[in-house]
């Protein structure tokens, strides 16, 4: 797998990865209604363009296919961590996370914060994150449970 930084030409593939991952990987932990509302975020083109412009987004690619993505804001917020449904449990998220943590150190962030799905919580615990609190978020009238977590950088 090769790692590279995302650019605007990746927009459609990033949105597709986001939507497809939610609609397949997260179905064990969220209802069909929650999945529908959450994955609809792929249609928010301006928000995706803003992410690409303002965040560090690292991509994992295999033979040109984007198989994973993760992003970090300048403030140390990890916004995205998605791995292609056909490439789960192959160490891709771990490699992406290592690049994100490296970037956080370069940015001199004292910690990395993240809001993670029920599905992703065990991964972030393995990466050394601590639970701050369980949250109930309302997205378009649909309530979601997720986890606010952080990792203090030393």
Confidence of residue 22 (pLDDT cuts 50, 70, 90): very high
Asked whether the beta carbons of 71 and 80 are under 8 A apart, the reply is yes
pLDDT of residue 139: 87
Residues 2-109, CATH architecture:
3-Layer(aba) Sandwich (3.40)
CA distance 145 to 133: 11
List, for residues 117-149, the tens digit of each pLDDT value. Answer: 999 999 999 999 999 999 998 888 999 899 999
pTM of the model: 0.93
pLDDT of residue 154: 86
Identify the three-state secondary structure at position 141: coil
Q: Rounded to the nearest 5°, which phi and psi values hold at 80?
A: -120, 140
pLDDT greater than 90 at residue 40: yes
Residue identified by tokens 């301006």 is 46
Q: Where are the domains of the chain?
A: 2-109
């Amino acid at each position: 797998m090769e790692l590279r930084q995302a650019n605007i030409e990746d927009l459609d593939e990033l949105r597709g990865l986001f939507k497809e991952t939610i609609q397949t990987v997260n179905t064990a932990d969220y209802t069909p209604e929650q999945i529908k509302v959450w994955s609809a975020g792929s249609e928010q083109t301006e928000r995706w363009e803003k992410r690409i412009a303002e965040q560090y987004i690292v991509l994992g690619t295999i033979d040109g296919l984007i198989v994973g993505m993760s992003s970090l804001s300048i403030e140390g917020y990890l916004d995205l961590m998605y791995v292609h449904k056909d490439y789960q449990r192959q160490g891709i998220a771990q490699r992406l996370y290592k690049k994100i943590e490296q970037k956080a150190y370069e940015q001199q962030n004292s910690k990395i914060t993240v809001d993670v799905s029920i599905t992703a919580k065990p991964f972030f615990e393995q990466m050394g994150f601590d639970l701050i609190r369980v949250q109930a978020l309302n997205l378009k009238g649909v309530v979601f449970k997720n986890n606010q977590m952080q990792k203090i950088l030393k």
